[in-house]
Amino acid sequence: MSWRLIDSLATTEALAEVFSDSSVLQAMLDFESALARAEARVGVIPASAAADITSAAQAVGFDASELARQSLRAGTPAIPLVSMLTERVRAADAHSAGFVHWGATSQDVVDTAIVLLLKRSQTILAADHQRLDLALRRLSDAHSRTVMLGRTLLQPAPPVTFGLKAAGWRAAVARGWLRMEEAFADALILQFGGASGTLAALGAHGLAVSAALAGELAIANPSAPWHAHRDRLAALLSACGIYTGTLGKMALDIALLMQEEVGEAAEPGSAGRGGSSTMPHKRNPVACTIALAAAGRVPGLVSSFLSGMAQEHERAAGAWQAEWPVVAGIVQSTGVALASMAETAEGLTVYPERMQENLDATRGAVFAERAMILLAPSLGRDVAHKLVEEAVRISRTSGRTLAEVLAQMPEATRVLTPAQLGRLEVAGDYLGSAEMFRVRLLMEDT
């Protein structure tokens, strides 16, 4: 079981497995075995040594707990790992053991391992992004004409459609995913530079081994080693921060719509989900809460990574060593927010009748702008604004609708026809370009 209880609200089962001890260990061993095969292909080490190293480089049988203990003393997991791997190879062939980790350095192992874990993570994130994108498209299309209150500063505003709102969420996450894809493409690259980034130990074979190693691991081969240059990872993690923040915005919108006094939407519910330990009536926005927690957690983690970008010369003392848990935390937080919102979008219940009730409850106040726009050409904007403001005040104190109040004001009836007053509060007549915007948002990044 790779899912720790303390991380139960901060990751998904799939991503917990990616960053589990056995997975991290295997990623480092994959580097070592690929390095041996690449060097054998180029003629740097014997093919028999590469075969023995590859056979031994399997996580099963390694003591991850002991490796962790020794890592704390060594300042890197690579040193005890290489020692353990060497002993395992020696048990098969003493001569082959001398070629373990040939020409590499500790940071090559650690950085390439994290790249391999990020590559696995990208596949998981991409699948959940596709789920979310499809679900939001369906929601938007299904509710293209579902009218609801717009809300500005948490107060009622002129109407929008739920289809437009869902399309806005979808376009934002699509833009965020495009940034993520571009950043992944830049970051999924080999780290292989040897002691100080020159591969001097490999003599004339350095570039050939590097190219072969990248091919073995199916990742890109950069122009040069990047030991103390963390910009590519920083760009990816920053993109994760933006993407998770976008998911948090969607989560906050839905959580607010789920409030009992609003009641316009609800997350999918099931046994054991959304309840309270003490209040049986509760239906809590669980998935939204998890996404919001991630959106609150990730910016600090991104800041931590960015703070460590100023690294000394060819290898950092401290900043680089701080990265592993930060990277893992950011990617897993992004993943749990994404999976939570994909599940929410796929099962979201929308209540159009309640949306209409909440519109009606304003007694037409949200159409004050519309009334002012109709009156302004004849009365002037300032006069029209004051007139409608007074009408809204009377509406609130009298319980009448805005249209009913205006129908009793001679200044208004001299300008507005009975037909205009009769349709003043028809929400569908005051949606402007909402549908065109909705369609355009669904076309973004397609």
8 Å CB contact between 53 and 130: no
Q: 175 catalytic, yes or no?
A: no
Q: Which two tokens mark 83? A: 């020692």
Q: 395 catalytic, yes or no?
A: no
Rg (CA), the chain: 30
In the chain, count H helices and then E strands.
19, 4
- The residues with which 148 forms a beta bridge, in sequence order, are 160
Question: What does DSSP say about strands 349-350 and 147-152: parallel, antiparallel, or unpaired?
Answer: unpaired
Q: Is 147 helix (H, G, I), strand (E, B) or coil?
A: strand
Cα–Cα distance, 307 to 152 (Å, whole number): 35
DSSP-derived secondary structure letter, 251: H
Q: Which two tokens mark 188? A: 């999924």
Q: Which residue of the set 22, 276, 307, 378 is catalytic?
A: 276
Amino acid identity of 47? A
SS (H, E, C) 381-437: HHHHHHHHHHHHHHHHHHCCCHHHHHCCCHHHHCCCCHHHHHCCCCHHHCCCCHHHH
Cα–Cα distance, 367 to 158 (Å, whole number): 6
Q: Which two tokens mark 266? A: 């609800």
- Burial class of residue 209, CB neighbours in 10 A (0-12, 13-18, 19+): buried
8 Å CB contact between 119 and 219: yes
Q: Which residue of the set 120, 175, 179, 315 is catalytic?
A: 315
Between helices 78-92 and 64-74, what is the axis angle to 10°?
Answer: 130
Amino acid identity of 344? T
Which positions are annotated as active-site residues?
276, 315
